[in-house]
């Protein structure tokens, strides 16, 4: 991780779960970290969980990845404060229970705007910065095993994950598209998809957590994968990581 010391990492959805764990671990690894979140106050609270001499390395900026103007303004603030972006961790995600054939179409659109369009928009800003500065940057997408296998309902129940799996399948394809584009455009920017199984976060309902029992990952299990991916030498491309808890039930 030495080559990333004092480099700038942007983490979306940094207010809780995987995003919060990743932001804290990147700060501990010696990076300047920008945590983007709608609940920006919770990113500010993360600073108090860091050692006093590390708190200055976490910058909180309000951002709703579904809102074009919010994303544009957030990245303007980043570029005003820092020279550019070296790492982007696309973590912001959304899941809402319901059946795709009956649920409110506005909810479907919001999930897609968060899980797909938010990734695309933030990556465009980061890629522009990395390419213009000719740096060996890294874009990481927090995907899901639901982007490789459609999640069914528990114990024969009707599925309630609706468009979540399709949105994550899109990220699996987008990862490969980025790999080819980054190479074809003459850059040395890496792209990695990290696909966890069930993780102890706010997105997972209590009913599912009870069914999983001990077969559930912690947010830091995923941030550890982020750190591993970043620690590989420049010529190594970790394209996709699937992470499951031992004895996974899903």
List, by residue number, the catalytic residues.
164
Give the count of beta carbons closer than 10 Å to the beta carbon of residue 23.
33
213: left (phi over 0), alpha (psi -120 to 50) or beta: left
Ordered strands of the 138-142 beta sheet: 58-62, 32-37, 8-12, 87-90, 138-142, 190-196, 240-243
Report the C-alpha gap between 26 and 46 in whole angstroms.
Answer: 13
- Backbone angle region of 98, left / alpha / beta, with phi > 0 → left and psi within -120 to 50 → alpha: left
| Coil, helix or strand at residue 239 | coil
Strands 87-90, 138-142: pairing kind: parallel
CB 14 within 8 A of CB 46: yes
User: In this structure, are strands 32-37 and 8-12 parallel, antiparallel, or unpaired?
Assistant: parallel
Give the C-alpha separation, 98 to 108, whole Å. 10
Half-sphere exposure of 117 (CA within 13 A, CB side): 13
Q: How far apart are CA 190 and CA 87, in angstroms?
A: 9
| Cβ atoms < 10 Å from Cβ of 241 | 17
Closest CA to 187 of 232, 129, 119, 111: 129
């Amino acid at each position: 991780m030495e080559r990333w010391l004092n480099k700038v990492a942007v983490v979306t959805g940094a207010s809780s779960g995987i995003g919060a764990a990743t932001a804290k671990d990147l700060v501990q690894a010696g990076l300047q970290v920008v945590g983007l979140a709608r609940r920006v106050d919770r990113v500010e609270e993360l600073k108090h969980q860091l050692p006093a001499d590390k708190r200055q390395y976490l910058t909180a900026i309000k951002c709703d990845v579904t809102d074009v103007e919010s994303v544009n303004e957030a990245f303007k603030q980043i570029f005003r404060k820092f020279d550019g972006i070296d790492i982007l961790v696309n973590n912001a995600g959304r899941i809402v229970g319901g059946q795709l054939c009956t649920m409110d179409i506005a909810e479907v659109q919001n999930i897609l705007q968060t899980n797909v369009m938010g990734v695309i928009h933030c990556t465009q800003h980061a890629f522009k910065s990395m390419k213009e500065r000719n740096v060996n940057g890294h874009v990481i997408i927090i995907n899901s095993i639901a982007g490789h296998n459609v999640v069914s309902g528990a114990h024969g129940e009707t599925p309630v994950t609706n468009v979540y799996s399709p949105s994550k399948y899109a990220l699996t394809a987008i990862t490969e598209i980025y790999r080819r584009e980054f190479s074809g455009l003459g850059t040395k920017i890496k792209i990695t998809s990290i696909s966890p199984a069930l993780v102890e976060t706010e997105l997972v309902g209590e009913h599912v957590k009870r069914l999983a029992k001990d077969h559930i990952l912690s947010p830091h299990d995923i941030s550890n994968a982020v750190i591993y991916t970043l620690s590989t030498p420049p010529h190594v491309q970790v394209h996709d990581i699937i992470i499951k808890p031992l004895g996974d039930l899903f």
